[in-house]
Each structure stands twice: as C-alpha cells, then as structure tokens.
Amino acid sequence: MHSLEDYRHIVGEEVISSIYRKARALYGIKVININSTFYGGGVAEILNSLVPLMNDAGVEADWRILRGTTDFFDITKKFHNALQGDQINLTPIKQRLYTQASETFASYCHIDDDCVIIHDPQPLPLIKYFKKKQPWVWRCHVDLSDPNPTLWEYLKGFILRYDMVIISCPRYRREDLPVFQRVIYPAIDPLSPKNMDLTKATIAKYLKKFGIPTDKPIVSQVSRFDKWKEPDKVLDIFDMVRRKVDCRLVLCGSMATDDPEGQQVYERVRRKANTMIKSGDVILITSENNILVNALQRSSAVIIQKSSKEGFGLSVTEALWKGKPVVASNVGGIAHQIVDGESGFLLPPSDKQEFAKRIIEIIKDPKLGEKLGEKGRAHVRERFLITRLLSDHLDLLNDLMR
C-alpha cells in the first residue's frame, strides 16, 4: 500500500504539501464511492488508487460495489452504448431491471457518510432509494456529448436529484442539464503495478509467460474488447503496416465484470485475425494482469488507441507515462492528452491509412518515437497523475462541505 510520501520524488514536495493542506479541513469527513465493478476498465483502476490515498490524506473514504444480475449488466451495457449515441429500445422491463439493482442494494447498504460519489450510470438510481442527508455527486466517466435522447431524458430524472455532476472533459458539459457540472480529468497512479518501473528481467518474464515474442517490433492496443475501441479496425491497420515493416500486433483486453459484450467482440476479432493474418503475428490476450499490461506497454514500439468514442482513455495516459509513442483517434479525452506531432499523433478516427502511415514512420525511425514519448511523459507528469486527481477531489469535498 502506498502513502502520499511515496509520490514525493515523482511530483515534488509542493504538491504533497498542498494535498495535506487541503485535507486539513476534512479530517473525520466520511465519503463513500459506489460503482459496479472492482476490476476491468478505468473507473476501478482509479478507485483502487484514489480511495486508499484519500484515507492516507485524512479523509475517511470508502468504496462499495453495486451488485447486479447478468440481465442488469446487459441493460447497463446498452445504456452505456446509447449514452455514446447508439439506438435503444427503452422498455418498461429494462427500466424496472435497471432500478431494481439500486433498490435491492439500498435495502441492505446503509449510508451514513458526509458525501456520496456515484460512478457512471449503473448505480445512478441509488439516489432515489436512500433518504438523502448529504451531498450526492454523480461522477460520469462516459462521453456525454451525443447521448441517445430517449435514454438521456430518462436518466435525467435521476441526475436532477444530484447536487453536482462531474465530467471528464469540458466538451461533455450539457447545456440541457440544470445541475452544476464540474470538470475533473482522470489520472493514473505512477506507483501501481500497471505503471511502476519494471526491470528488464521482469518484463521479459511476463512477455514469455503470456507468449509474446520480442523478435519483431510490437504494436499494441490495451483496451477492453469493446466495439467503441474498434479492435477490428486495428487489425485492418496492422494489415497495412505489416506489408511495409515486419512487426507483431498484440491486442490486450481483459473482460470487465460489468461488460457482457466483451466475449462476443473478442470472438469476432479472433475470427477476423485468423482469416486475415495467418502468420501468428497477431496475439490476442484476455487475461487480467496489471504487470503484463505494464510490460507490454513498455515493450511496444508503438501503441495504438483506435477508439471511435472514449470517455478519457486511461490506456493512452498509461502509454504516454511509459514514454511510448501513441497513435490515437482524436476523440473524447484523448485530445487533452496528446498534442499532435509533438507528444504523439492524433488522427481522424476513420482514417486507417493515416494510422498505418504514422505507425510505419515511428517503427522506421525509433528516434522519432523516443522524442514523442518523452514529451508525452512530461505532459502526463504535469497533468494526469493521481496526486492531481486527489487534489481535485479534496477541492471538491472542501467546496461541498462548506
């Protein structure tokens, strides 16, 4: 378990001291975070580091998981897709199954905290089933710029009860939502197993364990098998790249417990990879292993993030932190992380040719990759480390408790 002082050598003493200062007015304050999975995806990743550090700073922070049936997660995945613009048939049965998980949770979970932070749409209805005695914040990690209107109207019924909504980027702000909206950028933990420094021996051990040879440059994408992350299009791009430079593609996507579509997307990608590229140059990994992700990112010559929608894109942050060149779609939060041509390449999501061109360019010129990676790492150090996120959360609590 890390404590704040462990981050001193990374972010400097000023940052650590200002965190302690902000926490002073919050001693004894109890905060509860609720989401719907303890692993897989960015939210679990953030809470895993943020909650212990809040406690270390002096706030009594707790983290609970909303339990749900398979039906529930099927529906909330549809909600997630519809919030990002998909169609949805919002039947009364879906609505009932959606709210039932919150109602059941409320029947045995007692909240006596001073502040409640609800993450993402799955536990959003909880607010309806508790006697509200404290500020409730809805922390939305999803791209809200173009939600399906029917679903948005329905969800607004719950959101309007909240004291504040937190979004991941300024452009997710909704003019049609009369609830105070605050931007807090997500962040990564530089000391977590996924991001900490690794020795060459450890990297080699993990790559071997998961069957990833290092005889050719590795191009990778670390993302859930999710249609919005477009792993099938990554295959198309790789097909163009390998005709010009010899390399290998690794798609690493563990299955989150709250994402029932992962298996189907994975099967589709596996079939396509087998028919398209016969040489064994595409490796698909579905294991959940943080050190593997770390080792893979550190061993990659280029990291891709070919998403068509992306709330923020912590995988990109992680890659940049490792000083790696990232070629990514100019969508959602990714645009806040990469300056095109300076700290990576930011491309129109539909332009597969341009993706291939940039990847080839970097593989052929490793110095270019190093230069981009260096700038990317500096940008993450300044803006997207967990200490900044902790500091933002302390500001939030100070404002709410005033």
Q: Which of 137, 222, 327, 363 binds ligand UDP (CB under 6 A)?
A: 222
Q: Per rule CB under 6 A, is residue 375 in the interface with ligand UDP?
A: no
Q: Per rule CB under 6 A, is residue 313 in the interface with ligand UDP?
A: yes
Quote the least distance from Cβ 2 to ligand UDP, whole Å.
17
Q: Which is nearer to ligand UDP, 228 or 355 (CB)?
A: 228
Q: Which is nearer to ligand UDP, 80 or 357 (CB)?
A: 80
Q: Is 134 exposed, middle or buried (0-12, 13-18, 19+ CB in 10 A)?
A: middle
Q: Per rule CB under 6 A, is residue 303 in the interface with ligand UDP?
A: no
- Give the CA distances from residue 92 to residues 97, 218, 237, 280, in Å, rounded to whole numbers and listed in that order: 9, 48, 42, 47
- For residues 390, 396, 400 and 401, what is the CA-based torsion angle, rounded to 10 degrees? 40
Q: Which of 41, 68, 147, 373 binds ligand UDP (CB under 6 A)?
A: 41
Query: Site mask, ligand UDP, residues 183-202, x = CB under 6 A?
Result: -----------x--------
Q: Are 254 and 224 in contact (CB under 8 A)?
A: yes
Residue 222: partners with Cβ closer than 8 Å, 6 or more residues away: 252, 253, 293, 296, 297, 303, 315, 318, 319
Quote the least distance from Cβ 6 to ligand UDP, whole Å.
20
Query: Site mask, ligand UDP, residues 84-123, x = CB under 6 A?
Result: ----------------------------------------
Rounded CA-CA distance 96/118 in Å is 19
Q: Are 140 and 166 in contact (CB under 8 A)?
A: yes
Q: Which of 79, 312, 345, 384 binds ligand UDP (CB under 6 A)?
A: 312
Q: Which of 315, 329, 343, 391 binds ligand UDP (CB under 6 A)?
A: 315
Residue 52: partners with Cβ closer than 8 Å, 6 or more residues away: 1, 2
Which residues lie near ligand UDP (CB under 6 A)? 41-42, 45, 194, 222-224, 252-254, 290, 293, 311-315, 318
